[in-house]
Amino acid sequence: MVTAEDLKQLPDKPGVYLMFDSNDNIIYIGKAISLKNRVRSYFQASRNLSLRIQSMVKQVDRIEYIITNNEVEALVLECNLIKEKHPKYNIRLRDDKQYPWVKVTLNESYPQVYITRRVKQDGSKYYGPYTNVAAIRDTMKLLRQIFPLRSCRYDLDEQTIARPCLNYQIKRCLAPCNRLVSKESYREIINQVCLFLEGRQMELAEELNRQMQQAALELQYEKAAVFRDRLRDIKKIMEKQKVITDVPIDLDVFGISQDHQGSMIQVFQVRDGKLVGREYFLLNEGLETEPMEIIEEFLTQYYDKSGFIPKEIIIPCNLESQVAIETLLTSLRGSKVRVRLPHKGEKAQLLRMANENAANLLQQERAKEKQEESYVAQTLEELQRRLELPKLPQRIEGFDISNIQGRDAVASMVVFESGVPKGSDYRRFKIRTIEGPNDFAMMQEALRRRFLKGLEERQTLQTENGKFAKFPDLLLIDGGKGQLSAAVAVLEELNLRHIPIIGLAKQEEEIFKPDQEDPIILSRRSDALRLLQRVRDEAHRFAITYHKSLRSKRTLTSKLDEIPGVGPKKKQALMKRFGSVKRIREATVEELMQVPGINQQLAEMIKELI
């Protein structure tokens, strides 16, 4: 419990504070110009706090803080900690899904351009995040049509490929793998791709026109024709873009709309006075959270890894840390960035349009959610009726086994709540007690461990909030009568026979119930059957992924055992540093030498033999 004495000890300095609950979980991270004033404000009876913040403060058990030199440092640290710790009461750009980015690997001699969902501090440039996956895939397809980008994932700083692939033959690639293009020429193409991704098509068109004219002057007509074709394609794209300002400016416009469930942020990306992109983000913070707080935290996360920051950013409300955010974005961009709330003129009009679009999108999202809820309710009702379940199967758990002749055997447990996968509740089990190919016994071990842990948590915690304490309304086993009988035996052994359980056989999609001779056959068009298939297939995918991971690590371990000079400690250090076969194979000699105990001679040997 936070005491008055704890609050007195807080320094009157800028920094970041972390609030912990009684279970030692971080529930909120904030920044402050004065840690003393900001943190104390949460615990003043006269303070008019929102219901959300009041609920949070009741849960605070202790507070830690980190002092920084200034508010900008606090802003950066707060952003990084939020993304790392995922506190319950903070606004997060990522909302149960990792948005895709376009990654340009500028740290390589011949950079790659591809879609990724992981942003790392690796010297690459990232563009995004994008909320429309189909649109970004179309963009990538278009990029490959216009620019001869390599699509291979070879480390061309380390290896040369003997023969170029088919893409070179059809003039979709310049074969950097075979060194048929210089690093400088290829880097020019990458720079043009970056201009395209930043929405700076006008600047790109001018550059392509310059290169075309230069090639023509040098009588390199084939080269000039290539630039001419790229220029034509870029101009076609520019013709489709809507001109929304008279002045060719670069700016991002943020609109916001809120309801009691959450908020929608609409981003307009304006480049050279044209609307070149729109993204929207649905957040969980509703009317109880001030727009200022939402926008402030959103901006720092949105631009944290962004490949391009415009000169001007239009926001829907004034911000408490507006000067600090401007300073931070200016340092990231390398030149002055202005963050402002316009009240008249074209920019105010753009802001109104962004707010109106955010409100419209939020309304559409709620209508879609309502429709999905109705569909899920009907599906679960059908499932309850057809399987004669005692209640709606709101929580379905699916189990599957994966192994090759008993080796690297694993089991998976996936969870669907209200017809939707709940990834945070997924669990996987490495089979410990069964030797040889015995799927029935492996399934029994996995179920026994799952429910024993659940029973133990229920007894210890006296609640269903533990990792395993919540039991399913329906248990689904991948398989027919044999697998089902083995699973039922475990439930009987643990006095859990009241949990409804079925087996779903893959070939004929027959549903088996205990003590029922004939299978239940649902129509292939049945939504209830489709839901069961999704659970079964997801359990299979999750099991296979884990099995492949273990098999890969075992293969790596056996290969490391064959290398002279690599003992158990060095093997463990390599695994700890890189974690997978692929990463050790892709590591450079210099990276291998960073592992304790690995000198250059041994690193070169590992590189050669792995």
Cα separation, 416 vs 423, in Å, equals 8
Helices H, strands E: what count in the chain?
A: 19, 19
Mean pLDDT of 53-64: 88
- Radius of gyration of the CA atoms of the chain, in A: 29
| pLDDT number for residue 556 | 55
Query: Checking DSSP bridges between strand 242-243 and strand 274-283, what pairing results, if any?
Result: antiparallel
Mean pLDDT of 361-384: 92
Least reliable range by pLDDT among 138-147, 167-176, 236-245: 236-245
Cα separation, 524 vs 537, in Å, equals 15
Domains, the chain, in order of start with CATH, read: 4-85 (3.40.1440.10), 251-363 (3.30.420.10), 395-543 (3.30.420.340), 562-609 (1.10.150.20)
Spatial contact of 149 and 115, defined as CB atoms under 8 Å apart: no
Residue type, 326: E
Higher pLDDT, 317 or 118: 317
| pLDDT number for residue 94 | 57
Q: Is the pLDDT score of 242 beyond 70? A: no
pTM as predicted: 0.69
Q: What percent of the chain has pLDDT over 90?
A: 35
**Using one digit for the tens of pLDDT, what is the confidence trace for 405-445?**
767 788 999 999 999 999 889 999 988 888 888 889 999 99
Of 495, 491, 485, 406, the closest CA to residue 442 belongs to 406
**φ and ψ of 340, to 5 deg:** -150, 160
pLDDT level of residue 239 (50, 70, 90 thresholds) = low
| pLDDT number for residue 46 | 58
Q: Is the pLDDT score of 502 beyond 70? A: yes
Residue type, 305: K
Of 294, 277, 276, the closest CA to residue 285 belongs to 294
- 3-class secondary structure, 281: strand
Is the C-alpha dihedral spanning 43, 49, 52, 53 positive or negative? negative
Mean pLDDT of 327-339: 92
**φ and ψ of 351, to 5 deg:** -65, -45
Strand partners, 475: 397, 501
Cα separation, 131 vs 267, in Å, equals 11
Cα separation, 502 vs 512, in Å, equals 6
Least reliable range by pLDDT among 242-251, 287-296, 373-382, 516-525: 242-251
Mean pLDDT of 308-314: 92
Of 251, 255, 165, the closest CA to residue 200 belongs to 251
Mean pLDDT of 252-262: 92
**Using one digit for the tens of pLDDT, what is the confidence trace for 90-133?**
887 754 457 888 899 988 889 998 988 888 878 888 887 888 78
Q: What percent of the chain has pLDDT over 70?
A: 93
| pLDDT number for residue 26 | 92
**Using one digit for the tens of pLDDT, what is the confidence trace for 48-58?**
777 778 888 88
| pLDDT number for residue 466 | 73
Q: Where are the alpha helices (DSSP H) in 151-258?
A: 166-169, 183-197, 201-217, 221-240
Neighbouring C-beta atoms of residue 604, cutoff 10 Å: 13
pLDDT level of residue 267 (50, 70, 90 thresholds) = very high
Query: Checking DSSP bridges between strand 312-314 and strand 338-340, what pairing results, if any?
Result: parallel
Cα separation, 256 vs 309, in Å, equals 20
Mean pLDDT of 25-34: 91
Give kind and range of the element (H or E) at residue 428.
strand 427-430
Spatial contact of 258 and 291, defined as CB atoms under 8 Å apart: yes
Cα separation, 129 vs 116, in Å, equals 10
- 3-class secondary structure, 219: coil
User: What torsion do the CA atoms of 113, 117, 119, 120 make, to the nearest 10 degrees?
Assistant: -80
Mean pLDDT over each residue of the chain, to the nearest integer: 86
Residue type, 96: D
| pLDDT number for residue 380 | 95
| pLDDT number for residue 97 | 55
